Amino acid sequence: MPITFSALQASVGKSIADLCPNNFSTPAESHCAHYVSHMLDLRLGLLCGDMAYTTRRSGASIRVDEIYNRLLRKGPWVDCPDCSDGLLIFVTSPQNMTNGVMRSAPAKHVGIHYAGTVFHFSNSLHKVVTDPSVEAFHSKFQRAYGRPDLALYFGAAQ
Amino acid sequence: MSNELRKHAACLLTAAVLPIASVAQNLPHDSMDMATALRALILAGSQVIPKESSCDGYYFTIGKATVADMLAVRMSGLDSGSNSVTGRCEGKQCAVEIRHRGGEGREEDVSATTIRFEMRKGVARASTMQCVMTP
């Protein structure tokens, strides 16, 4: 079922512990991919449930590159079909991309774009936040990673 | 991996381990443990990470990634902010953690890698490696 704006709005302010039934909520980890995967029911690559034997092969994806590389429809944000609601929006350096494949490098982030707003998990606030526009999301991570060359990419999960 | 990248990886690994190794004699026991874990992992640098391992990923190469490829890429974000590389061993079971958080105004820049492995004769065995790696 496609994600709805109200479902995304309801997630704002929640911690990853509120969203993950497998209790993979270590604050030192980056949970951006983990958040979008629980919201969109993505099960690509390693899952949060794989972090413990008793919950193996359950839950949602936890790595940005594994999500992006396994999606069928993806590419630079400027090429997104109509930038429709519910698209994944990735941010990383073009140096982390080779022939359309995203590398397992650290500096990358992902959120969900809906009605111009970007919903994503803040690893400094440890909760789900929104940015009011794609541009605001982009510039936030240009500052966060300290590099102006960051590019945006889209991925269609549904 | 190209020669240039190999040199880059070697520099990163050397930078990561030298401060530890150079003062290891004067540090308490847990720091010796840390050096043991790091050394075991570095000595395994040329081992191929099995495809089915949770440590497998797209690092510098498409195809067979090595432990050195993984360490180089995961340590490549440690040039600023707040970083730590820690390790420990209990018998043959070891773990190395690489943590990164951006500095002031850059707190959203977070990455974390935990590599657990079994070592044999002081060298990590890639076939036993398990990783928790985000984002």
Q: Is the pLDDT of residue B48 over 50?
A: yes
Choose among A147, A108, A36, A69: nearest CA to B74.
A108
Record: contact A32-B135, CB cut-off 8 A = yes
Residue A78 contacts by C-beta under 8 Å, 6 or more apart in sequence?
A: A152
Q: For residue A145, give the H/E element and its range.
A: helix A134-145
Q: What secondary structure does DSSP assign to A38-64, as a single string?
A: HHHT---SSBGGGGSGGGTT-S-B--H
In this prediction, residue B77 carries a pLDDT of 84
Beta bridge partners of A129: A120
Distance CA A75, CA A155 (A): 7
In this prediction, residue B63 carries a pLDDT of 74
In this prediction, residue B8 has a pLDDT band, given cuts at 50, 70 and 90, of very low
Please report the ipTM that was assigned to this predicted complex: 0.86
CA distances from residue B22 to A98, A134, B9, B16, B85 in whole angstroms, order as listed: 38, 47, 20, 11, 15
What phi and psi values does residue A97 have, to the nearest 5 degrees? -115, 135
Distance CA A124, CA A25 (A): 14
User: Nearest-CA distance from A108 to chain B in Å?
Assistant: 7
Instruction: Search chain B and give the residue with CA nearest A36.
Output: B135
- Chain B residues with CB inside 8 Å of A103's CB? 57-60, 73
In this prediction, residue B94 carries a pLDDT of 95
A→B contacts (Cβ < 8 Å), by residue, are: 26, 28-34, 46, 50-51, 62-66, 69, 98, 101-110, 122-124, 140-141, 143-146
> Which sign does the torsion angle of CA B131, B57, A26, B88 carry?
positive
What percentage of chain A reaches a pLDDT higher than 70?
100
Q: Is the pLDDT of residue A87 over 70?
A: yes
Record: contact B134-A65, CB cut-off 8 A = no
Instruction: Search chain B and give the residue with CA nearest A45.
Output: B54
Distance CA A110, CA B72 (A): 23
In this prediction, residue B75 carries a pLDDT of 93
What percentage of chain A reaches a pLDDT higher than 90?
87
Mean local confidence (pLDDT), B13-33: 43
Record: contact B108-A102, CB cut-off 8 A = no
Residue-wise pLDDT for A20-51, tens only, equals 999 999 999 999 999 999 999 999 999 999 98
Q: Is the pLDDT of residue A56 over 70?
A: yes
Q: What secondary structure does DSSP assign to A79-117, as a single string?
A: G-SS--TTEEEEEE-GGGEETTEE---S-EEEEEEETTE
Choose among B110, B112, B106: nearest CA to B131.
B112
User: Nearest-CA distance from A4 to chain B in Å?
Assistant: 24
Residue-wise pLDDT for B76-110, tens only, equals 889 888 999 999 999 999 999 999 999 888 889 99
Instruction: Search chain A and give the residue with CA nearest B103.
Output: A144
Distance CA B68, CA B48 (A): 9
The more confident residue out of B7 and A71 is: A71
Mean local confidence (pLDDT), B47-65: 89
- Residue B102 sits at the vertex; the CA angle it makes with A76 and A66, to the nearest 5 degrees, is 40
Helices (H), ranges, chain B: 3-23, 29-43, 67-75
Q: Is the pLDDT of residue B20 over 80?
A: no
In this prediction, residue B105 carries a pLDDT of 82
Read off the pTM.
Answer: 0.86
Q: Is the pLDDT of residue A11 over 70?
A: yes
Record: contact A145-B76, CB cut-off 8 A = no
In this prediction, residue B30 carries a pLDDT of 67
In this prediction, residue A81 carries a pLDDT of 75
A100 near A92, Cβ under 8 Å? Answer: no
Q: Is the pLDDT of residue B41 over 60?
A: yes
Q: How many C-beta neighbours within 10 Å does residue A108 have?
A: 27
